[in-house]
Structure 1
């Protein structure tokens, strides 16, 4: 049986909706003619509720985007991505790539069902510095998404010149509708002679009518005569309808007890919506049941809190927020800030723990609800005192995944402030925590390896010689990974060794760092061609992960996958297939994230392809494509991967037309997801190689030209990559087949120069395995150059 407070909250889930029949009729007339609906009107007139109520009748999928707290383009991007369940691409707001990412998801979803995007409370965004980008997003949604409707509510009329759209000003409730609403709220109250004048004085504002009804039905707290007198005094002070609403709110709040006034004022410190637990934490009430009974329900009875029943969250209406901020002071602001830090640090912890697990989509939806509250949490760092300092160091050290993924714009200012705090409180060692977080964002999110390494070194400068052994082990591991990403694997190995020297015998709290260092060491040693040592480290990692996580865990599957890749590099194709199959089995049983499962299916298909088992490879790729189709959001990165693997299978089997088609789709998808650098170049070169084998030399030359545009970026991101040699060798074949001798010999010299560069890089990186392969290629090219020159000389002498 439900608790009494739960029943009462359910009954108060939303105020009754009446009227708006004429407005709905106009919406219906425009529904088939337009995709964009701009609904505007003065504040508190009921725009949001009107649209929500209308859309209920349409039975379509609705994504509600609250714009009230959006103050920059990056926040707009991350919020929409979170609502759609996708991870925002780093730095994409600097161009229009963020729009393409959102479009791809919504276009995919709106193919088969009516899809509504509801941009609510858009007035600040419409009048912001990034308004043109917001309007561009709306235009692109209208142009490129098939079954879509877009609703925008605001106090400001939106302006578009590109196309016709429906715009409608929502007026106050007409007297008959206002009277009907009042009677619904207070059905037992006789309106009598004061009824009509009360309705007239309410100006047709639903919030005022709701509060009037609430006071009338509460044991005669106010009579209709009192209400008329109160509203009359407010009107004398009001210069406009909006000011009237504010004045009414203020007077109604003043009639609350001091405790309830305090509760409302303190809850108003939360900028976004909140749940019962968060409200209780901020108000200092011990249990959720007591929070409901002593704070939430009494305020709800006065219709001063909106309630989102689907998400079980509350919100304070817009003008009420302004009235509270201007007219009612918080009694102990420093103490309230301390409670806020505690409550929303816990929220960030929960979201951070969900990310990287099979609950990652829940983490995204949680962030979408909490975005303004977490932005305020980071912004409040400027008010930090000794009793809140530890909350911010906890955020920096443990919950940076949330900041990296969704709040990169706020990260720089936030981390700078945290560095200043470490100086202020004389906590020099905490500087290392901040530098580690900044290095992590630079390395893993921004791809700025130099900045990442510099920040890790700053952390090391602080930590070396201290007792912060866990942090020291962590930064050594992270520095090693940064160097690996730069191709400096010999240097990376030295840092992994330092990390392991600390973590391997450090006990349970060091185990996560130890396992990561074992895994990273195995990867770098594989790149260096030291397969025997690499295998020992991978197996040590595997044994420790099994001991800690059990036999069936996605991370265990990932470790076995690393062993498979090692075997593949060794040339032991059968063993590689065996390990890939085992990794796939574990990922299936442990319900690993879909992208991880698709990656394993691709790996097993590649292993089968190497053994000439083409049918088995295609069956696995078919399974992967079915998984992709089952997802509610498009997975273009996974789709591109599977088409790329499919192309390799077709190419090896000699099915060149199918291979060409698969690689062409791969390149198209890779460009759509803004892939850059080495990986994109590799996929374009695969297409060029098939075109050369087909004899389509003109198209091959165009494709090679496209690939070579990525040469500098590929070298910068992965200095030891050989894809440029592969590309030039394909070009040389085309010139040879078309008897273009001048360009042929020039290409041979280009290959020679690239091999000389690679030799130098491999020596610097101590990558002996790759050095041998590059040297062999260089020798062959030099022989071809010598042979060509000898032949040309002989022809000239004749």
Structure 2
């Protein structure tokens, strides 16, 4: 074989047995072999191994790396040089060199293989270049002594030659093959139970596997497989694009360059499709891209991306997906532009439950974010299924050795048990499991959150003194930590204020609730549901204190704000009820006022019943 394609210095060849066997069995009946797959999946290496296996039946390999070839003329002169044709100061026209080359090929009986590597660098160019390449292949295949091998990320069709054209699609390595490759390239490393998550995080892509093995092998034991799993789960692109490597070898740069080869319109649509979490069907892609029909989006977007190996397609399920490392590049390097307005509000969250059972690295971060930041959405739209969802999130976090993420999910589960199921004891147990982890991570938003949740839970169980201590801890962290903690500041102040009411420490309660009112107005303005909540809490404080006049003043003001801001029904019902029950406590100086108050009381009761009915029927 030509020294140009010597692979003795490359990594061990693993897997691809089925593909290699099919290629070998087709050697005697086919003349052209197209080997296609996504960037760095191993198409070139498979082609080299294939050539080595059939080397006894050929005389000479003409290897042309089209990634390193600037234009058609250069390609032809390179081929002529490898054929031994002098390439001095002759005409620079491609047709001149093509004729010279075919003169040489037809005058001898040498058995040639023309190996065009990285052909996407020409196949993705304008139609004139593609036509020249296609005509070259057709002319070469007309010669009895020539075979052609082509590797490319862009699938190349040659309809007129289909009977002698073998197409091989190269997929990522399977789990056992990936494990074999990483262990062979990092000998002496004790992978223990971390081999499976490392394999999953490599996605079966040889480039990622070799980078992971290199980092483990060359760290002199400083970097363990457990460390690597943790780093890859949080910053895979950065870890696999170290500064010590040439820029062209870093995973981030390789796949960024791969995406950059797309035309602007396809690149923009690709970025929008990345907004869909997990796999999707043609209708979901049509909806996201705001295309007129499914046929349009298939023809203009999905098929071109499949042919360029930017999308995976499962024909049995008729679903598409973006390879995980490509998702990370899209998220890291590209901004969504011209996104249809509806897509901002509807990012296919209906698919959430189905997809969580198939969580991989590319969707892991999305699901953890959903689990920890969207509990209200989950409570509303996933009632009855939240435990299953959170359980899968915890299993995924454990798989990637993300102990902190497990704790964050536990906080969300605790909220479900406390606020939805009403199982306060179980909610408290889950919160405390989270606290054991989070207390060891230093002051953080997560720690302030779990303190606040535990305090609220204990308050609901009438453990007021203990509740107050946790709420104070949350407030101490939140009040000195910037705007991101503002919501926690308000929650802690409100809960502390109510807890102090039940401890009959009314002066302290009033001071804290008034501070909460001032802070809420400053943060959200005077007309906000949160303002209505604090006013209602002040009413409760005065009610417990025995001051009915002040109580109803705050209750009514809170009710007015809540109605104006269209707050949630549950919150509105609470204010309606508080106003209604306060009327019998008022002094009644005359009969007409008593009648008016009684009428208001019954009207409030009817409004409460109507809201409850609407709430139950939703």
TM-score bracket for this pair, using the shorter chain length: 0.3 to 0.5
Give the structure with higher Rg (CA).
2
Q: TM-score, normalised by structure 2?
A: 0.45
